[in-house]
Structure 1
Amino acid sequence: MSENINTLAELSAASLASSPARTRLTYLFDDGKFTELDAYVKDGSELTGVITAFGYVEGNPAYAFSQNIDVKNGAVTEAATNKIAKVYDLAAKTGVPVVGIYDSFGADVSDGAKALKAYGELLMWSSNLSGVVPQIAVVAGVCAGCAAMLAESADFTVMTKDAQLYVAPNSDIKDSAENAAKNGTASLVCADDKEAVEAAKNILLKLPQNNLSPVPMYEFADPTGIPAGDAESVAAAICDGDSVLELNADYGKAAYTALASIGGATVGITATNKTNDALTSDDCSKIARFVRICDSYAIPVITLVDTEGFAANDATEVQGAVKNMAKLAHAYAEATTIKISVVIGKAYGPAYIALAGKGANADISYAVPSAVISPLNPVTAVEFMEHDELKGASDLTAERKALADKYADTKASASYAAVSGCVDGIVEPAQIRETLINSIEIMAGKRISRLPKKHSNIQL
C-alpha cells in the first residue's frame, strides 16, 4: 500500500513539474489556471510527452494539448495520441474550441505502427471537427511528419519565428516560419511562444464557440478617419477601433484577409488591392480559404473590391491558376453566410463576378461613386468597341486614354452599374461603415437551402 502511495506521489510531483509545455498552457488560460486531463498516464516508466487540459480563455471554455519537449524530445506515442484524441472527443461533445501547441520531433519509432495508427485517428478527429469547433494550432518548436499535417488541419496556424514545420525529415527544405508565412502555411508568425499563444487567443476570441453559436459581440470603439486609399486602410477605417487582425499577410500579397468587428460583431474582411497587382493563384487560394472558414462559423464576409482582375500571362497559364480562380468563385457561391461587397475602386471582368457579383457571390453589393465596373479594362474595351474613332488620331495614346476615361465615366461608372442592377446602391466612403452595420443587422436572419449532396466537387 505504501509503495502505491509513493508511486502516486512521484507521479503527482512529475506531472506538476515546470516545463515549456505547461508554461505555454498558463499563457493560454485565464490566470494561468487549468485542469489537467490524464495527468498520470505513462509511456513505460515515464509520463507521456503531451499535457492535455481544459480551462477558460477570457471567460470562454476551451480545450488544449501541449507537447512536452522535455519527455523523449516530445516523441509521440500511442498513449500520447490517445490523450489528445480524448480532447477532440470532449470538444465534439461540448462544442468547445481546441488549441494545439506543437513541439515534437515526431512519432516515437519504438512505438512503430501503433503510433502511426493513433496519428491516423487524430487526423480523422480533426477532420470531423473541422467547421464544427474552431481549431487553432500553435507551432512553438519542431512540428514534423504526421504532426505537421495535423497542425495544418486546424483553421489557423500560428508559428514562433524559430519554429519549423515539415513532413519529410530528410528534405533539404525545412519549412521555416518565414517560408511558412510566404507559402500560406502559417497565418501569423510571432517572436516567441508567449506571443504566439497570445495571438492564438486573439483569434479564438473573434470566433464563435462552435458552428451553432452566434458570433461574439463586444464593446467597441469607433474607428477614426474616413475611408480612403488602399483596401487595407479602408478596412481599418470602417471596422471598430483596434479590432482588425490581419492574417496571412505575407502570402498572396495582392489580397488582404482579416478578422475584425463592426458594431461589436465579428466579421471577416477580404480585400483585393493591397499591392494594386492583379490577383494570382496564391491570392485566389488565400481568399477562398478564408471565406470557407468564415462560412463554417457563420461569420459575415465583407469584401472590398479594387482590382483590374486576375493575372493573365504565360506564367499564370503554366501554373494552372484558373483552378484557384474557379475555387475562389466557388467559395463565395457556396458560402451561405452573410456576404456584402463594396466596390471601392476598379472591378473588372471575372474578378467582379467572383468577388462582388450579385446573387450567388454577394447578397448585397455596393459601390462608391468613383468605382469603375466593367467587363474589360476600359482601355481594352474602347479598342474593341470604338476602334474606328482611333483611326487617324494624331496622338493615338492620348486619344485612347480620352476614350477610355469617357467609357469609365459613363458605361463603366457606378451609376451605370446601379441602373443596370449590378450593384444595389451607391455609398459615399464616409457612409460605408454605417451602411455595413445596417446591412448586417437586416441580414441577420438569413436562411438558405442547398441541393442535397455530400459535398461539392470543385478542385481544392
Structure 2
Amino acid sequence: MDTLKQLTNDLQAKKEAALLGGGPEKIAAQHNRGLLTARERINKLTDEGTFMELGMLNTSDVKGAEHKSYGDGLITGVGKINGRPAIIQAGDKTVFAGTEGNVHIRKSKSIHEFAVKNGLPIFSLHEGGGLRMPDGMGSDGISDKLFPREMLTLHRQVPTMTAILGDSFGGPTWAAVSSDFVTQLQGTCMAIAGPRMLELANGQKLTPEELGGVDTHHKFTGQIDEDGSTEDECIEQLKNYFSYMPQHAGERPKMRQTNDDPYRLVEEVFTILPQQNNRVYDMKKIIEVLVDDGVTFEYQRKFGKGLITTFAHLNGHCVGIVANQPNQYAGAPGPQECQKATEFICLCDSYHIPLIFLHDTPGFRISSEAEKAKMPTKIMVWNQALALATVPKISIVIRKSIGAAYGNMCGPGMGGDLVVAWPTAEINFTGPEVGVNVVFGRELSRAENPKEERQKLLELWSFDSSPYKAAAKHLIDDVIHPSETRKFLCQSLDYLLTSKREKSERLLSAWPTGI
C-alpha cells in the first residue's frame, strides 16, 4: 500500500510540475507581456471542467531537458466548446519559446489523426517560434519535420480554426494558413520567419507588425479572416464562427432555432435601395433584413471590400452569402475580391452550406495593377470553383450585373439552381452609358441634337437590359417582388436541401486553403 501511495504521490508531483510548463518565471514573463499562457487560453475557450489534456507528461527528447520541457511546447487535448466536443491545441511559449521539437511534432500529428478519425473539429491557439534548433538541423533533422503531413492531407474533413495570439513563425503560420478560419491578435506578427531572420537573410529591417501584422494581412495577403484587440475577443470569434459549422464534413450544420417568420415580407428594402440606379448603398443592410433575426457573421470583412462574404441563417438553415458591395469600388470585384470569393465558395461547398449570390456590380475592375495581380486567372479560378461546387446555389440580381461578373456571381450557365431578378435589375454585356459611348460615339458627335439622340439610345439600351427579356426566354427563372425575397429564399432552401444533395461529392474539399 505504501508503494502505491508513493507512486501516486510521484505522479501527482510530476503533473503539478507539468502544469507549470517552463516554470513560474516563464509564466510571469508571459503575463508581463500582457499575454495569457496556453492553459489559460484553453480554459477561456472550453466549457468549464470539460478539457481532458493528452500528453501532459511529454517532455523534450533532448537529454537533460526533461524537467524544463513538460508538454514540449504544445498543450493538446479534448474539450467541449458551447457543449460541442472538439480537439484543442495551444502553443506553450514558456517551453523553449513554443518552438517545435521532435515530441511536439509527433504530438501534433497524433492529435490531428485523432480529430479526423473521430470527426472532431480542431481549434489551435498559437504562438511560437517555428522549428526548434538544433532539433531541425542537418539532413536527418529537417527530413520529417518541415511540413507536417496532417496539414497537407486534412482536406477539410473537419472544421479547423486558428487564433494567432502571439508572434508566430514557421509551424504556427503553416497551421494558420491551412485553417478554415483565422483570427489574429492585434500587435502580433504571423510570418514565415521573424524580423531578425529577415534582416540576416537580405538586410531588410521591418518591425514585426510591418512584416506580418493584422494590417498587412487585411490589406495585402488575406491570410487572416478577422482580428481582435484582446485575446478574449479572438477566442469569442472562434466560438462564433464555430456556431455556423458542422462537427465534420459528413454532415450539414445544425439548424438554428428562430421565431423569425420565413415568409416575412421585407418592405425595408425599398428604403435601402436608392431610387437612382447610380447611387451607392450598403448591401449589408439588405442582407440583414433578409436573414433570420438580422444576425450575420462576416468572413474576411477587411479584405477585398468590394465583395461581402458572410454566414447567416434562413429559416434556421446555415447559408453562405456572396454579395457585391456598391459602396466599395461600386461593387466591382478586383483581384482580392476574386480570391475571397473562391476561398468562400470552397469553404461552403466543403461543409454542405448552400450559397446565395446577390448581384449589384458594374463588372470587374480593370487596371494595370489588376493585370499584374493575375486578374484573368483569378476570374477563371472563381468560375472553376462555381462549376465544381455541388451545394445548392441561388442567385438574385438586385440591380446591375454587367459583363463577365454576371457569370461569376452565379448567373445562368454557372450551375445555379435558381436564378431570379428584381424588377430593378439591369443585365447586359456592358452598361448602357458605356455601350452607347463605344458604339455610337462618332454618330452622336455628328448629330444635330446629340443630347436628345443620346437619351433615345440610352432608353433603348436600358430596355434591352431589363430582366423581363431574359425571363421571357427562360434565361432566368423569374422576376420576383423585392419584398418577397426572404420568402423566395426560404422556400427555395426547403426544396433544394435534399438528402441526395447532402451526399454529393465535395469536389472542392481538396482545393488549396489559400488561393
- Using the size of structure 2 for normalisation, the TM-score is 0.82
CA distance in 2, matches of 1:436, 1:426: 13
Give the secondary-structure state (helix, strand or coil) at the position aligned to 1:140.
strand
Q: Tell me which residue corresponds to 1:415.
A: 468
Residue 128 of structure 1: which of 145, 153, 156 is its match?
153
Q: Tell me which residue corresponds to 2:118.
A: 94
The amino acid that maps onto 2:41 is R
Change in 2 beyond 3 A, CA 1:398/1:101: farther
Contact 1:158 1:190 in 2 (8 A): yes
Residue 432 of structure 2: which of 366, 378, 398 is its match?
378
1:29 aligns to 2:46 (yes or no): yes
Q: Tell me which residue corresponds to 1:181.
A: 218
1:400 aligns to 2:437 (yes or no): no
1:348 aligns to 2:348 (yes or no): no
Deviates more, 1:261-270 or 1:313-322: 313-322
Give the secondary-structure state (helix, strand or coil) at the position aligned to 1:241.
helix
1:199 aligns to 2:237 (yes or no): yes
The amino acid that maps onto 2:50 is K
1:417-438 deviations in whole A, cap 9, x for unaligned?
Answer: 2113232111222111111111
CA distance in 2, matches of 1:312, 1:121: 37
CA distance in 2, matches of 1:213, 1:443: 16
Give the secondary-structure state (helix, strand or coil) at the position aligned to 1:356.
coil
Root-mean-square deviation (CA, aligned residues, Å) is 2.8
Change in 2 beyond 3 A, CA 1:368/1:389: farther
Contact 1:144 1:168 in 2 (8 A): yes
The amino acid that maps onto 1:141 is G
1:318 aligns to 2:335 (yes or no): no
Give the secondary-structure state (helix, strand or coil) at the position aligned to 2:212.
coil
1:259 deviation in Å? 1.2
1:155 aligns to 2:155 (yes or no): no
Contact 2:180 2:347 in 1 (8 A): yes
1:115 deviation in Å? 6.5
Deviates more, 1:113-122 or 1:154-163: 113-122
Give the secondary-structure state (helix, strand or coil) at the position aligned to 1:361.
coil
Q: Tell me which residue corresponds to 2:300.
A: 248
CA distance in 2, matches of 1:33, 1:62: 10
Change in 2 beyond 3 A, CA 1:315/1:341: same
CA distance in 2, matches of 1:312, 1:442: 39
Contact 1:329 1:361 in 2 (8 A): no
Contact 1:354 1:361 in 2 (8 A): no
Change in 2 beyond 3 A, CA 1:407/1:33: same
Q: Tell me which residue corresponds to 2:495.
A: 442
1:428 aligns to 2:481 (yes or no): yes
Contact 1:160 1:189 in 2 (8 A): yes
1:329-386 deviations in whole A, cap 9, x for unaligned?
Answer: 1111111111111111100111101213224331111111101000122123334666
CA distance in 2, matches of 1:213, 1:323: 32
Task: Summarize the alignment of residues 67-106 of structure 1 with structure 2, pairs less than 5 Å apart.
Answer: 67-106=91-130
Change in 2 beyond 3 A, CA 1:308/1:454: closer
CA distance in 1, matches of 2:294, 2:185: 23
CA distance in 2, matches of 1:243, 1:369: 27
Q: Tell me which residue corresponds to 1:365.
A: 419
1:74-129 deviations in whole A, cap 9, x for unaligned?
Answer: 1221111222212111111111110111111222212124774554463x212322
* Unpaired runs of at least 5, structure 1: none
1:6 deviation in Å? 5.2
Residue 58 of structure 2: which of 35, 41, 57 is its match?
41
The amino acid that maps onto 1:296 is S
The amino acid that maps onto 2:94 is D
CA distance in 2, matches of 1:215, 1:453: 17
* Unpaired runs of at least 5, structure 2: 21-26, 28-35, 199-205, 274-281
1:226 aligns to 2:268 (yes or no): yes
Contact 2:38 2:75 in 1 (8 A): yes
CA distance in 2, matches of 1:9, 1:191: 38
Contact 1:343 1:356 in 2 (8 A): no
Change in 2 beyond 3 A, CA 1:31/1:450: closer
Alignment: residue pair count: 457
Change in 2 beyond 3 A, CA 1:450/1:202: closer
1:368-405 deviations in whole A, cap 9, x for unaligned?
Answer: 11010001221233346666863643564564355224
Change in 2 beyond 3 A, CA 1:431/1:119: farther
Q: Tell me which residue corresponds to 1:15.
A: 18
1:331 aligns to 2:369 (yes or no): no
Change in 2 beyond 3 A, CA 1:146/1:394: farther
Residue 169 of structure 2: which of 128, 140, 144 is its match?
144
Change in 2 beyond 3 A, CA 1:277/1:50: same
CA distance in 1, matches of 2:506, 2:121: 29
Q: Tell me which residue corresponds to 1:299.
A: 353
Greater radius of gyration (CA): 2
Q: Percent identity?
A: 26
Change in 2 beyond 3 A, CA 1:399/1:175: farther
CA distance in 2, matches of 1:30, 1:444: 32
Indicate the structure whose relative CO is greater, using CA pairs within 8 Å and at least 6 residues apart. 2
1:238 aligns to 2:263 (yes or no): no
CA distance in 1, matches of 2:247, 2:337: 28
Contact 2:350 2:508 in 1 (8 A): no
1:279 aligns to 2:338 (yes or no): no
The amino acid that maps onto 2:253 is V
CA distance in 2, matches of 1:345, 1:266: 25
Give the secondary-structure state (helix, strand or coil) at the position aligned to 1:158.
strand
Change in 2 beyond 3 A, CA 1:215/1:394: farther
Change in 2 beyond 3 A, CA 1:131/1:402: farther
CA distance in 2, matches of 1:119, 1:56: 30
The amino acid that maps onto 1:26 is N
1:146 deviation in Å? 3.4
The amino acid that maps onto 2:91 is Q
Q: Tell me which residue corresponds to 1:66.
A: 90
Contact 1:25 1:32 in 2 (8 A): no
Change in 2 beyond 3 A, CA 1:148/1:450: closer
Contact 1:355 1:361 in 2 (8 A): no
Contact 2:422 2:481 in 1 (8 A): yes
